[in-house]
Amino acid sequence: MAQKKQVLVLGAGAGGLIAGNYLAANGYRVTIVEKNDYHLFQPGMLWIAFRGHDPERYMRRVTELVKPGVELVKGVVTEINLAERLVKLSDGREFSYEYLVVALGAAYDYDAVSGNRELLEKYGDFFSGAEHARRLWQAFSSMKEGTLVIAAADPGYKCPPAPHKAAFLAAETLRERGLLGKVKVVLAVPFVHEYSSENIARIVAPKLREAGIEVKTMFTVESIDVEKKKLYSLEGEELGFDVATVIPVHRGPLDKVEPETAVDEDGFFKVDKHTLRIEGYDDAYAVGDCNNTPTSKTGVTAHLGGEVVAERIMGYNAVFTGRTNCPLITDGEALFVISDYEHPPVPVRFSKFKRLLEDMFIAMYWPSLRDPEKWSPLFRAYFEATQPKILAKLGW
């Protein structure tokens, strides 16, 4: 038998680890390039920023998350040349490949909205790393009165319920401290309704009201005056704040990709939405937040995409359905925003059971990254049973 192919994976986030470890479990020679020593469980930033959790709870050394046999390279990818099958790092090293899996996630453009970088420096945020989340906790937890504003600079940010979760967690902390009301929580969303999908907005709006959270719809941050403590929206309104955090504009991870036509105008890799192959190439894939699939950018999407790509490289006809499963957490309850390419988010209920399920998913996160081949059947059973086409009729 011919030797199994060599696969170069860029990024050790959710998508890259799943694809790389899954392929390594099946005998492929895998190299993963990652710039950081630690992998951060990104939803953890919400708990760091609004509940004061210790960042260490949500971080693991990348070396502990790759299977034995996987070659881990620490370095910063600066350029991909698809035609020449070449990847370049900032220190001049070059790698060639037989198969390429790009899993570099999304990058942030803090300069797209004036004042966003200054705001980040002052108050931190819950999108760009544990340190910034920690800074936001310091600003938020020292508030005794005034207004906390949670907003976004663009509707295309990852994990659509993230700012809602942020608002719920902030309100919970304030309630425990007897400060809710003295400190007002304002959630400004860049959507017509309280949530991106109207189905979900109907379910979430009363919960937000109950929790004492004020919602401002159709507020897409256009500029920020940190000195005057004001956010201005593209829609022509303004919001004052004492502490504010604004989710930055997202863009693709690399400035240099050859050919340029492989990425869209925002730098996201153009892929076939079912096979995740980069347009025009049969040896290169892009999974997770760095591709342009018309679905929400979530960990679940990256996870499922990572499996699909690994299986396609192994020769199976796996297909990505665009499935999402975003947890929306309130005080003690949760629901999952479930959709795929064919079905918009289905209306589902909040329940305590789903909150338990979410805690279980979080507990399974680390082992499932390292040993996807073992955990995959369990996840598959869940995703099978909760397909939107079934839930759309049954509810959940």
Partner 1 sequence: MAEKIVVDARNMACPGPITKLTKAYRKAKPGDIIEVLATDPGFKPDVQAWVQRTGNELLELKEENGVIKAVIKVTAKK
Residues forming the site for ligand FAD (CB under 6 A): 11-16, 33-36, 39, 42-43, 45-46, 76-77, 103-105, 126-127, 158-159, 162, 253, 288-290, 297-300, 302, 326-327
Q: Whole-angstrom Cα distance, residue 213 to residue 171?
A: 7
38 within 8 A of 48, measured Cβ to Cβ: no
Q: Is 196 in the site for partner 1 (CB under 8 A)?
A: yes
Q: Is 198 in the site for partner 1 (CB under 8 A)?
A: yes
Q: Is 218 in the site for partner 1 (CB under 8 A)?
A: yes
Which of 234, 314, 362, 390 touches partner 1 (CB under 8 A)?
Answer: 234
Dihedral over Cα of 376, 378, 384, 387: its sign: negative
Q: Whole-angstrom Cα distance, residue 218 to residue 191?
A: 5
Q: Is 155 in the site for partner 1 (CB under 8 A)?
A: yes
Q: Is 197 in the site for partner 1 (CB under 8 A)?
A: yes
305 within 8 A of 120, measured Cβ to Cβ: no
269 within 8 A of 262, measured Cβ to Cβ: yes
What would the x/- binding string for partner 1 be over residues 323 to 362, using CB under 8 A? Answer: ----------------x----x------------------
**Angle at 381 (CA atoms; ends 327, 371), nearest 5 degrees:** 80
**381 — phi, psi (to 5°)?**
-60, -45
Q: Is 125 in the site for partner 1 (CB under 8 A)?
A: no
- Cβ 348 to partner 1, closest distance in Å? 16
Nearer to partner 1, 34 or 222 (CB): 222
309 within 8 A of 284, measured Cβ to Cβ: no
SS3 290: helix
Helix-helix angle 299-313:14-25, to 10 degrees: 30
278 binds, among ligand FAD, partner 1, none (CB under 5 to 8 A by kind): none
Nearer to ligand FAD, 276 or 290 (CB): 290
Q: Whole-angstrom Cα distance, residue 335 to residue 294?
A: 22
- Cβ 200 to ligand FAD, closest distance in Å? 14
Which of 125, 172, 222, 289 touches partner 1 (CB under 8 A)?
Answer: 222
**Binding positions for partner 1, rule: CB under 8 A:** 154-156, 190-192, 196-198, 218, 220, 222, 234-237, 294, 339, 344
